[in-house]
A = this chain, B = another copy of it.
Amino acid sequence: MWQCQGVTRPAAPAGAVRQGSLRELNLAVVLGRIAAAPRPPSRADVAAVTGLTRATVSAVVDDLVAGRLVGESEPAPRTGAGRPARGLVLAGNGPAGLGLEINVDYLAACVVDLAGEVRHHTVRRADLRPVSPADALARLAELAAVARVDAERQGLTLAGAALAVPGLVDAAGLVRLAPNLGWRDVPVPELLSGHPPLVDPVPGIPPLVVENEANLAALGELHADPDGPVSFLHVSGEVGIGAGIVLDGALFRGVRGWSGEIGHIPVQPEGRPCRCGGRGCLERYAGQEAVLAAAGLDRTNLPADTAAARLADLASADHPAARAALAEAGQALGIAVAGVVNLLDLDTVVLGGGYALLTPWLRPPVLAEVSRRVLTAGWSPVTVRPSALGPEAAVVGAAGSVVRRIVADPVGWLNRTG
């Protein structure tokens, strides 16, 4: 009688449900089930799970197969008596997503197919700070062209691209600020428009999304582990510190897409001045520069992407300054994370980017601060674990965001004219 449940998000009555929407919605439902299933399901399995009849599922699957979104796995999984089922899998010769990344000392491109498999991956190391944005994007376009050729050779069609950038991006793809690259107000889509198109346009799928790398890394982590938590904080420790917030299986971007600036959460209100204008920001205690300085390392002759590995080596060898530096960084990180957990009630924190390698030394102080400062820590333990993808999370997440979009709404792909 006194059944209780939380105040849930209202079932969004976004748009009206027209006649044809029925099929459109069920295409997404069936495709989503096939994508989420641990092993290739039969039509009958899908029908049982969704509540649709087998007749309907068959009809929907026919459409999906005709549109190269779903294939049948020939060696059907055997169960027992009865006619053997034909397993349904996401097509490996249909649409794919192009992931791109520009970072301080490398460019990267990768291709991910519908099933989430990485089918192509290139990283080109280069210090991009002295390079103009236009030149950097020109080099990126070359990588993209190579990726596209490789994808087509494998029977894939690039349906969209996402570019990870270490900075703040607005809704139009303008990079407002990427401090570590030295970029300010760089109109990425415009600068790329002179180059050959990256992808084949598909209705409903934006050809290029420019997004903060920490956000895309969080998405990558989300999709890397289908059985993982659906709500978590992903903290990327690079030169700066960014965070991606995943809530209920979706990236939370904030009002303007600028969420996750955890690096500027105050951890010592009147502490060290920060280039953001504030004082005592987390970045000044747990950012790469601060940790290297505390460990007594000279960052000028240490490539940014090897700093974490170097620190991990030293810490493994019981180097006292490195250990102390990581303990201090972990404590600062823990103070910020405690605030986040108090605010958002998350139960999982993923340490990504450079932090992934350093998890053994960062986790204890982070957990100590969390258990001390989080009101609900007694009832609900917080898990702190390293990223599964590490530094590749952003590119892979970028490519994955494209295919996820197609899985969530396959109608555009199915209706494409090409």
Give the residues from 372 to 397 in chain A that come closer than 8 angstroms, CB to CB, to chain B. 372-376, 379-380
* B interface footprint on A174-206 (CB within 8 Å = 1, 0 otherwise): 001000000000000110110001000100001
Q: How far is the CA of A28 from the CA of B14 in the complex (A)?
A: 10
Interface residues on A, range: 35 or more
Q: How far is the CA of A6 from the CA of B172 in the complex (A)?
A: 9
Please state if B17 and A22 are interface contacts (CB–CB under 8 Å): yes
Q: How far is the CA of A342 from the CA of B280 in the complex (A)?
A: 14
A7 within 8 A of B: yes
- Name which residue of chain B comes closest to A376, CB basis: B258
Tell me how far the C-beta of A372 lies from the nearest C-beta in chain B, rounded to whole angstroms: 5
Selected from B4, B15, B16, B21, the residue in CB contact (under 8 A) with A173 is: B4
A262 within 8 A of B: yes
* B interface footprint on A57-69 (CB within 8 Å = 1, 0 otherwise): 0000000000000
Please state if B278 and A338 are interface contacts (CB–CB under 8 Å): yes
Q: A17-B25, A278-B338, A409-B11 are in contact. Are A2 and B255 (CB under 8 A)?
A: no
Q: How far is the CA of A80 from the CA of B129 in the complex (A)?
A: 64
A339 within 8 A of B: yes
- Contacts A254-B346, A268-B269 aside, 19 further interface pairs with beta carbons under 8 A come to A1-B193, A7-B162, A7-B253, A9-B251, A11-B28, A11-B409, A17-B25, A168-B375, A231-B254, A252-B344, A253-B345, A255-B345, A255-B346, A255-B347, A256-B380, A259-B343, A264-B342, A265-B338, A266-B338
A residues at B contact (CB < 8 Å): 1-7, 9-11, 13-19, 21-22, 25-26, 28-29, 31-33, 50-52, 162, 168, 171-173, 176, 189-190, 192-193, 197, 201, 206-211, 215-216, 219, 231, 243, 245, 247, 249-262, 264-269, 276-279, 281, 335-336, 338-340, 342-347, 372-376, 379-380, 401, 404-405, 407-409
